[in-house]
Amino acid sequence: MCKLFRIRERVVSIGFAIVVVFLSPLSGAIAQAQLQAPQSFRVMDTFDDGGRSLTLGWSALPRDGSSIQYRVLIAESMDGPYQEVAVFPEDQHVQKDMKIPWWTRLPAQDDHRFYLRSGDQFSLEDGTLYWVKLAISDGMHVAETRPLSATPHPNLFNRAQANNLLLLILFTAAVLFSIRRARKNPHRFLRRIAGLDAVEEAIGRATEMGKPILYLTGSASMDNPSTIAATVVLSEVAKKVSTYETGLIVPHRDPIVLAICQEITKEAYTQMGHPDAYSPEMNFYITDDQFSYTAAVQGIMLRERPAAIFLLGYYYAESLLLAETGHEAGAIQIAGTDADHQLPFFVIACDYTLMGEELYAASAYLSREPVLVGTLRAQDVGKAVLLGALTIGAALLTAGEIFHTEMFTYAVQVFSDFK
């Protein structure tokens, strides 16, 4: 009985060994069959770039999982030697996770996309042919694609910024259309700004009282946008002042601004037919020191007692000192600046305040120049469109999250990365 049991045990052991020997190649073949390199692997020059870059694309593997790793190999000849330039798991460099405009995506939405760019480890040169292959590993087995070649080249046009070009064309068309309509009717309706409506009142008040007007262009130089806007408004104020023959005082702390304002004032008086009423002493230089200039202007306010004070341009800590002194002098004060940290002081101490871009728009309001009016109206249209796009885009993205779809993002991406 024992002999029969031993014989049976040996037969089972021999049979198990035979099964293991015959099934081992088969199991390896099955594993190898399951781990296959992507058949859709492709290498191409990177579109919409400045050169020295290649793009790799391939479809997701049926076995994609956390254990799969991709290795990118590159060489300057088909036979090698190949250099490993990147290693990453399968859940990285997926196209649908990238912020890529839909009009530049690869055909398949679940494709992997990897950008091979020059770096510290290797360098790509434009016009040079490179061979690239992709290796897939699951820790036990490795499969490689056949090597493919591509040559990097720079591109003249970036398709990813095509939406910027489209919106620029539409905005330019809106500007030209608005300018054309403004030429036909320069007095088209513009949103009323109280500070600009009060300019005529301030000049008239100074004329009735027989007192001068004090006009300040700020503390910045001519490379500051608010200073430029202040000098443009000075031209319109000088035209009205020349008509009423009212005194004009314009102290400066920058010699370049002084020279420009002298020419602007002289031209304004000449255009209105009162060149003899112009005096070069209307514009004068004090000092470039901040608080020395402030003290001198405060002295002018208290001595001359101007009926109207214009505080336009860019200001620093002197804003409250000037505005408080002007208020004490009893003048009607119109301020305007894009320095947001000084706006509260002007709002408290002045009668009217132009906030931010209202200062830039002041010249269009006062002069009614068709080009300025048309541009201003086109800007308002552009702001309305962008505000509507933000509102609708937020609603579409919210709907996309609720219904788990990317369909709504196509419309939103038209306004994405807008510069």
* Residue range 329-353, pLDDT digits in tens: 999 999 999 999 999 999 999 999 9
Is 167 a domain residue?
no
Same-domain pairing of 141 and 192:
no
Q: Is the pLDDT of residue 387 over 70?
A: yes
Q: How far is CA 342 from the centre of its chain?
A: 25
Q: Does the pLDDT value for residue 413 go beyond 90?
A: no
What is the Cα 237 distance to its own chain's centre? 35
pLDDT at residue number 305? 96
User: How far is C-alpha 376 from the geometric centre of its chain's CA atoms?
Assistant: 20
Range of 49-53, 121-125, 349-353, 391-395 with top mean pLDDT: 349-353
Tens digit of each residue's pLDDT (9 = 90 or more) over 249-272: 999 999 999 999 999 999 999 999
407 within a domain of the structure (yes/no): no
Q: Which backbone phi and psi does 132 adopt, to 5 degrees?
A: -130, 140
Taking the C-alpha atoms of residue 375 and residue 377, their distance in angstroms, rounded to an integer, is 6
For 37-86, the DSSP string reads --TT-EEEEPTTS-SSEEEEEEPPPTT-STT-EEEEEEESSTT---EEEE
215 and 146 belong to one structural domain:
no
3 occurs within a structural domain: no
Q: How many domains does the chain have?
A: 2
Residue 218 has pLDDT above 90, yes or no: yes
Check which CATH number belongs to the domain holding 248 and give it.
3.40.50
Residues 133 and 236 in one domain: no
Higher pLDDT, 357 or 12: 357
Give the burial string for 289-321 (b: 16+ CB within 10 Å, else e).
eeeebbeebbebbeebebbbbbbbbbbeebbeb
Note the pLDDT of residue 23. 43
Kindly state whether residues 342 and 205 are assigned to the same domain. yes
Answer yes or no: is pLDDT of 49 > 60: yes
Specify the pLDDT at position 337: 94
Q: Flag whether 395 is in a domain.
A: no
Q: Does some domain include residue 137?
A: yes
Phi, psi values for residue 71, rounded to 5°: -125, 130
Instruction: Write phi, then psi, for 120 (nearest 5 degrees).
Output: -70, -35
- Most distant pair of Cα atoms in the chain: their distance: 140
Q: Are residues 231 and 136 in the same domain?
A: no
The verdict on 211 and 358 lying in the same domain is yes
Average pLDDT over residues 399-412: 80
Looking at 90, 124, 150, which one is the last position of a domain?
150
Are residues 357 and 304 part of one domain?
A: yes
* Domain encompassing residue 197: 188-367
What pLDDT digit, counting tens, does each position of 231-241 carry? 999 999 999 99
**Confidence band, pLDDT 50/70/90 cuts, at residue 134:** very high
Six-digit token pair at 65? 């999982």
Residue 375 has pLDDT above 60, yes or no: yes
Same domain, yes or no: 140 and 269:
no
Residues 323 and 232 in one domain: yes
Lowest mean pLDDT among 20-24, 279-283, 361-365: 20-24
Domain boundary among 95, 128, 150: 150
pLDDT at residue 418 in the model: 62
Whichever domain contains 137, its CATH number is 2.60.40.10
What DSSP state is assigned to residue 3?
A: H
Confidence at residue 97, expressed as pLDDT on a 0 to 100 scale: 58
Angle in degrees, 0-180, between the axes of helices 357-367 and 370-403, rounded to the nearest 10? 140
What pLDDT is attached to residue 25? 47
236 and 110 part of one domain: no
Residue 419, Cβ density class (10 Å: 0-12 exposed, 13-18 middle, ≥19 buried): exposed
In the chain, the N- to C-terminal Cα span, in Å, equals 92
Per-residue pLDDT band for 27 (boundaries 50, 70, 90) equals: very low
Output the six-digit token pair for 204.
């008239």
- 12 in any annotated domain: no
The residue length of the chain stands at 419
- What mean pLDDT do residues 171-193 have? 87
Tell whether the model's pLDDT for residue 53 goes beyond 70: yes
pLDDT at 161 over 90: no
Which residues are registered as beta bridge partners of 249? 214
Segment 396-404 shows an average pLDDT of 86
What does the pLDDT read at residue 80? 83
Lowest-pLDDT range of 11-20, 70-79, 289-298, 380-389:
11-20
Instruction: Please indicate, yes or no, if residue 2 is contained in any of the structural domains.
Output: no
Predicted confidence at residue 2, as pLDDT, reads 47
Confidence of residue 366 (pLDDT cuts 50, 70, 90): confident
Q: What is the predicted pLDDT for the residue at 356?
A: 87
Q: Are 83 and 73 in contact (CB under 8 A)?
A: yes
Do 142 and 229 have their domain in common? no
Question: Does a structural domain hold residue 4?
Answer: no
Share of the chain above pLDDT 70, in %: 87
- Check residue 364 and give its pLDDT: 84
**Does 334 lie in the same domain as 227?**
yes
Boundary residue ending a domain (348, 367, 386): 367
Q: So what's the pLDDT on residue 28?
A: 42
Alpha helices in 104-193 (DSSP H): 162-184
pLDDT at 5: 46
